[in-house]
C-alpha cells in the first residue's frame, strides 16, 4: 500500500533527474541554485515568523515582570504609609561661651525612629533605635521635650 501511494512521487523524482541529465552544465547549476534559494527563502520566512513569535513572547514576559514589580512596589508603598511617624522636637536652651544671657533654642526632629547623627552642640546623641535619651543626666540642659505625631 505504501509503495503504491509513493509511486507518483517517485516517478516525478525520476523525471526531474532525467531532465537535469539532459540539460547542459550551466542549466544544471542554475536549477540547483534555484532549489537552494527556494529552501533558503523558506527557512528565512520561517525564521522571521519564529522571531516575531519570540519577540511577542518576550514582550509578554517583560510586561508580566513589570506588572509584578509594580505590584511589589505598590505593596511596599502601602506598608510604608502605615508607619506612624513621631516627630520628636527637643528644644534646648544653652548659654554660648562668655555671654550667659544669650539663650539658643534648637529643635531636633526624628523620622521613623532611625538614628540621625546629631550636631556636637547637643548634650546627647538622640535616639539609637527605640532607645530613649537619658533625660536624668541632661535634665538641667533640656528645657522642653515635645513629642507629637505627624
| Helices and strands: H and E segment counts in the chain | 2, 3
Give 56's pLDDT tier (boundaries 50, 70, 90).
Answer: confident
DSSP category for residue 118: P
The structural domains of the chain, with segments of one domain joined by +, span 2-79, 86-149
DSSP category for residue 117: P
| pTM given for the model | 0.18
- Average pLDDT on 86-90 reads 47
DSSP category for residue 23: S
Secondary structure (3-state) at 140: coil
Amino acid at each position: 500500500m505504501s509503495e503504491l501511494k509513493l509511486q507518483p512521487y517517485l516517478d516525478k523524482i525520476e523525471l526531474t533527474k532525467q531532465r537535469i541529465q539532459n540539460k547542459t552544465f550551466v542549466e544544471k547549476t542554475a536549477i540547483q541554485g534555484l532549489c537552494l534559494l527556494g529552501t533558503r527563502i523558506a527557512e528565512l520566512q520561517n525564521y522571521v515568523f519564529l522571531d516575531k513569535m519570540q519577540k511577542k513572547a518576550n514582550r509578554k514576559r517583560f510586561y508580566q515582570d513589570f506588572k509584578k514589580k509594580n505590584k511589589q512596589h505598590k505593596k511596599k508603598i502601602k506598608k510604608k504609609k502605615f508607619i506612624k511617624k513621631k516627630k520628636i522636637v527637643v528644644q534646648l536652651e544653652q548659654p554660648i561661651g562668655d555671654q550667659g544671657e544669650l539663650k539658643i533654642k534648637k529643635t531636633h526632629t526624628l523620622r521613623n525612629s532611625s538614628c540621625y547623627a546629631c550636631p556636637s552642640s547637643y548634650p546627647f546623641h538622640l535616639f539609637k533605635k527605640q532607645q530613649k535619651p537619658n533625660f536624668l543626666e541632661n535634665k538641667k540642659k533640656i528645657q522642653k521635650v515635645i513629642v507629637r505625631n505627624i
